[in-house]
Amino acid sequence: MTDKELQVKIELALDEIRPFLQSDGGDISLVSIDNGKIVKVQLEGACVGCSVNQMTLKSGVEMTIKKHAPQIETVLSV
């Protein structure tokens, strides 16, 4: 899979979860993909100060990204 194909898959995953974040006043954007294994995202809006954002990141965002791109090992918020 090319870097571009991987980026498209990750953007699709973020598009899948974005409505849930936006319904709570937040959002998410892709910052980078490192070595084809580590995805860096930026939580935005209400997600920044949310007390459960790390749970959302791991159980929602990371799980959804791995569903679309199984080679991803971890998702980090920067």
pLDDT digits (tens, 9 = 90+) for 21-57: 999 899 999 999 999 999 999 999 988 888 888 888 8
CA distance 76 to 78: 6
Domain count within the chain = 1
- Structure-block tokens of residue 28: 């998410």
Tokens 């920067």 belong to residue: 78
Q: Under a CB-based contact definition with an 8 Å cutoff, are residues 35 and 72 in contact?
A: no
CATH number of the domain that 25 lies in?
A: 3.30.300.130
**In what order do the strands lie in the sheet containing 38-45?**
26-34, 38-45, 74-77
- Residue 8: pLDDT band by 50, 70, 90 thresholds? very high
Mean pLDDT, residues 61-78:
95
Percent of the chain with pLDDT over 90: 74
List the domain range (segments joined by +) for residue 56. Answer: 3-77
Rounded to 10 degrees, the C-alpha dihedral 53/22/33/49 comes to -30
Average pLDDT, integer, range 7-18:
96
* pLDDT attached to residue 35: 94
